[in-house]
Structure 1
Amino acid sequence: MMETLEEAELCFPQINTSCRKHTRPQSESMLIYILLSFVSLFTVILNLLVIVSISHFRQLHTPTNILLLSLAVSDFLVGLLVMPFQILLTEPCWFLGDLVCALYYFVPFITINASVINMVLISVDRYVAICYPLRYSTKVTQKSVKICVLLCWIYAVASSFLFLSENLEQPGRYNSCYGQCMINIIRAVYLLVLFFILPISAIVILYLRVFVVAVSQARAMRSHITAVKLQSSVTVTVKKSELKAARTLGVVVAVFLMCYCPSYCVSLSGFNLTLGSPTSDFISFLPLSNSCINPLIYAFFYPWFRKSVELIVKLYILQPQSCEASLL
């Protein structure tokens, strides 16, 4: 009887070196699966709406929105490819084989790194727009932003192969038991520096500078609003739109930091979480949830996104010349 019970707790009862299953209540497991599946589906739909909106409507083809489009693509891939496999990783039993395990980690590594770099580019975009407004239109063009986005994705893909290539040579070599999905990240210290410490530091420094300049400009506009002439009122309007964009993207950056910092801090502290525990599942899924939150921020702060979603849902985009619709 004891032997049968022990075999029932194994991922692969016929193999002695098999990993053990978690004794998690079935109701709790079902709740986790349903919740994570809903978040995954919601992430795919929302980011697909962002991608279609910015890609289809010509009025939205601005340098800043191109960066948002790149971020939405990485968030879409997280919802489509990363989240479903992350649901499987809430249990220690991996049934898809060692090779699929090694290949799987390339996708989140690429998408998460691309998201981090996109956040840096967004911070640089707002920094130039607020701190150097007269140079913004000449320095930040659609062509230059597209080149930066392309380099961002090339860098994310190349770095993934650099840090994870060893796992493809002998898949499963780092598993402690049969049915586990573990990999080794080469040069983990360099990884933390390149993809966490340096980017996060750059984002924080740039947005602190943007915040200081934005506050000073807002005060200046309020103090001189009564003396503004017709010609300068156009300048004030442009500044207000840039400041509003900076506030919105500042919220995006702040939420990004709140979602990503806990998992990195746990990694830096060396604290080991019990696999399958609620805390471990929360820390693992928190960075991924940022991909679902970003479109919600756009919907709350950007009227053009709400209007474009309405046109998409009504299938207006199927009509000729729909790309010329006015959204701003």
Structure 2
Amino acid sequence: MIIDLPSTTTSQVNKKLVELRESGGAVALGRVLTLVIVTGDGTEVEKAIQAANDASREHPARVIVVARGLKQAAPRLDAQIRVGGDAGASEVIVLRLYGALADEGAGSVVPLLLPDAPVVAWWPSDAPESPAKDPIGALSHRRITDAAAEADPIGALQDRVRSYTDGDTDLAWTRLTSWRAVLAAALDLPPHEPVTAATVSGAADSPSTDLLAAWLASYLDIPVRRLEHPRGPGIVSAVLERPSGNVEIVRPDGKVGSLTQPGQPDRRVALQRREVRDCLTEDLRRLDPDEIYEATLHGLSKITKGDEAEQETDEEGEES
């Protein structure tokens, strides 16, 4: 069920929510958090709502969408309430703010927050340089951004380094969960030798490739090269160098990778590029600071960047 409230106020929205609860159309008692989605008033609104609805099946929530419209328009708040089949396991409140109200998202959100429930803010794109200092970010226990959805993904990743505050995370980091799990499992198998160096290849604008390289550099304390690969998308390969032979994962198609390591048969591993809904669901499982993500951000300064052509030239020089 979708209820439109044009040219309204937050008090009228709250009143309508109470009416819906009393009539049995929506129940808020089972909500475990408030998810605030901050976005522009475009096509990405529906994509973000769908991802939140899917995630709500594991994390029932009140979803508040702050869709900022034209600042040149007359000040106006248009609201929409979605419950039932149109809201997954949540109740969705869409606030479309125009004119001077477009910059007052926090003031519109506060009256609609669930009492005594944690608040998570998510910017599907165009996140502020410092999410924790943003008015909505300051209200939140957890702040989720997505560097890959920015106009300059690598530049956005550097913003995350400079502005990191406990509670920050990024979907570019969450997309690495499968890669990290496969690499960790491979190192658990014999021979149990130290890794001496690593090389990670991926698209030039892939923040996840940078983060995987930084994670290896930070936690293995080894030199890591981050190479640009023309194939893409995202991460293409990761090679860990050990005395008896390399551990190598190659994923040329963005779907299935091949794992090669000494003394073990080659294996195919599922490394499908993760959907936003899956990453969001994972991030909503924890509200505490992510120390590993923080250390990985600091590890970005430890990696060496290059491209595939430079790598091939270096290898030819070594052979000669």
* TM-score, normalised with respect to structure 1: 0.25
User: Which has the larger helix fraction?
Assistant: 1
**More RCO (CA 8 Å, sep 6+):** 1
User: Which has the larger strand fraction?
Assistant: 2
